[in-house]
Amino acid sequence: MIATPCKVDDPKHNRILAELQDEDYTRLLNDLEQVPLQTGQVLFKPGEKLEHVYFPTSGIVSRVFTTQDGSSAGLAMTGKDGFIGIPLVLGGVHSSYEAVVQSKGYAYRLNAEIYTWELQQSGNLLQLSLAYVQALMTQIAQSVVCNRHHIADQQLCRWLLLSLDLLGGDQIDMIQEVIANMLGVRRECVTAAAGKLQEAGLIHYSRGRIIVVDRAGIEQRACECYNVVKSEYDRLFGQKPIPHARGRFRQNPATLRQRAEKRLEEMPSPPPESSWDSSRMIQELQIHQIELEMNNEELKRAYEETDALRAHYIDIYDFAPAPYLTLNSIGSILEMNLAAAILIKIKRSQKDRHRFQSLLTELSLPIFQRFIDDILHGKVLNTCEVALKSSPEQPETLIKLEGVPNEEGQECRINMSKI
């Protein structure tokens, strides 16, 4: 017998997904995959490449940093208020911390490439992601201040209130060792602080389960740090979405058949067939035909976008005011823009007849050769100063070269400037 999940959360139980505009949410819906979060589960480790972004709808995930001696501390918690995958917003692809599930629940995960594509459209998801990054920075900063200046009792009350906001209800399932790790204090401090709260009738604690009996009493004992964090979250997510231009359409290969079947349903129905087998075969052929048509439509759009981007790049390169050229390992000129052609006095149609060394003075030749060798062998940025030979059109000219290798390390891309 296959066990079914006890609770199937709606994606909009997550605050980020719930705040998305309808167009953005609908586009993402087929790409979101629901996954369970088990206590102790590691979503990713330090140094790992991020393959997915997680949007919890229940449960709590902590960001844990570990030192070389093995000690660790949790700096921030995420639940239905945000997402796990901050490095992707900030331009990274690897995590510097460990993301660990501290309280079980569910999340919707999104492929990292799709998430990055959505951010590049500068739409509603980017605005919400940046707002959450700022809110998370406030939570981390306030945690540091709280751990330094407030007693363990106040810290525990702050943590309890934040956890209740993320989980909902009045129950938290978490052992003292984990709580101590999140607060950055010894376990004995958590035991003593929890004992005081239980004696005051504010909580009931037993075997890793905390039930908050009097939330108002907990709020009175908490320091100001809880309200600072909560107010910042409410302020940032209370902002109106910024209108944005409609982005490019993004197809998802995983849902191609689903979209093809939907298009077939919208088409006029064919005459009924006497044989079920032949009818089913015709339907399959029609679906496959529509899939091919949709693939061709997407390929056509991709080619058109590529051609437009290529034409745009060529215009930028050709008419850039800075002289650019590309050389191979022996100095032959492979490409150059108009500014470079003017500087070195060579027609672009005749570039393949020249090696760049033939344009330099004799004293500059060894300098230039070291410049090329260092770039192509070391695959690093390099600079040098050389002199162009005098000609009837211009006297000997001192220029500065800045070069980098291409991805294969076989060509050198150079920017030139007069000195």
As a whole number, mean pLDDT of residues 8-25 equals: 88
Question: What kind of architecture, by CATH, is found in domain 151-222?
Answer: Orthogonal Bundle (1.10)
Which pLDDT score is estimated for 4? Answer: 41
DSSP-based three-state secondary structure for 118? helix
pLDDT in tens, 193-252: 888 999 999 999 887 889 999 999 999 998 888 888 888 888 887 766 555 545 555 555
Entry pTM: 0.57
What pLDDT is stored for residue 297 in this prediction?
A: 76
Q: What are phi and psi of 174, to 5 degrees?
A: -165, 135
Where are the chain's structural domains?
A: 1-146, 151-222, 253-318, 324-418
Whether the predicted pLDDT of 191 surpasses 90: no
Structure confidence by residue, pLDDT tens digits, 70-104:
777 777 899 999 999 999 998 888 888 899 999 99
Instruction: Calculate the dihedral angle through the C-alpha atoms of 225, 233, 90, 163, rounding to the nearest 10 degrees.
Output: 60
Residue-level pLDDT at 407: 81
DSSP type of residue 18:
H
pLDDT 10s digits, 275-291: 445 666 777 777 777 77
Which fold does the domain 324-418 belong to in CATH?
Answer: Beta-Lactamase (3.30.450)
Tens of pLDDT along 38-65? Answer: 999 999 999 899 999 999 999 999 988 8
For the segment 178-205, the average pLDDT, to the nearest whole number, is 86
CATH, domain range 1-146? 2.60.120.10
Each residue of 134-172: pLDDT tens digit? Answer: 988 888 888 888 878 888 888 899 989 999 999 888 888
For residue 1, what pLDDT is reported?
36
CB of 112 closer than 8 Å to CB of 85: yes
SS3 320: coil
pLDDT for 18 beyond 90:
yes
Q: What is the pLDDT of residue 106?
A: 95
What's the pLDDT at 49?
92
pLDDT of residue 267: 67
Q: Which band of pLDDT confidence, cut at 50, 70 and 90, is reported for residue 352? A: confident
Between 285 and 31, the more confident residue is: 31
What confidence tier does 3 reach under pLDDT thresholds 50, 70, 90?
A: very low
pLDDT > 90 in the chain, percent:
33
**203/9: higher pLDDT:** 203
Does the structure show a pLDDT above 90 at 24?
A: no
